[in-house]
């Protein structure tokens, strides 16, 4: 699996249409940072894609700003949040209402990948 360092985050290409995103601890993600991340992702993957956001580190997400960016990404098909932490799970539940893309929460990367794969089936 190829991993790409974006400075404040790392992305890994799980397959030709699924990207694993992990923010670095104590990062603040606002709209400009989100635009940069998605632009970089779209440089490394062709066609439509889905995103797994692995919340294993603590970081600040300006939700309204970031989901305004997410909702405008035409090639982004769906989002899966992976976390084992109760607080992160509760925050992701709030975010689900902000997303115009298919959105779900999982306890592991394998289940998230399997769900996202169903979004790409014809």
**Whole domain around residue 17: which residue ranges?**
2-119
> Structural domain tally of the chain?
1
Percentage of the chain beyond pLDDT 90 is 61
- Across the chain, what does the average pLDDT equal? 90
Whichever domain contains 24, its CATH number is 3.30.750.24
pTM, two decimal places? 0.91
Tokens of 39: 């632009």
Q: Which pLDDT tens digit goes with each residue over 54-101? A: 988 777 777 889 889 999 999 999 999 999 998 889 989 999 999 999
pLDDT higher than 90, residue 18: yes
Paired sense of beta strands 103-106 and 76-82, if any: parallel
pLDDT at 122: 62
């Amino acid at each position: 699996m190829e991993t790409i360092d974006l400075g404040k985050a790392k992305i890994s290409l799980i397959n030709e249409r699924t990207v694993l995103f992990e923010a670095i601890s104590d990062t603040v993600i606002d709209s400009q940072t989100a635009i940069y991340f998605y632009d970089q992702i779209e440089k490394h993957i062709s066609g439509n894609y889905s995103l797994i956001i692995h919340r294993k580190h603590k970081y600040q997400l300006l939700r309204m700003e970031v989901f305004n960016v997410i909702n405008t990404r035409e090639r982004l098909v769906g989002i899966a949040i992976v976390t084992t932490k109760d607080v992160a799970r509760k925050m992701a539940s709030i975010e689900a209402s902000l997303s115009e893309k298919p959105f779900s929460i999982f306890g592991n990367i394998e289940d998230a990948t399997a769900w996202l794969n169903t979004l790409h089936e014809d």
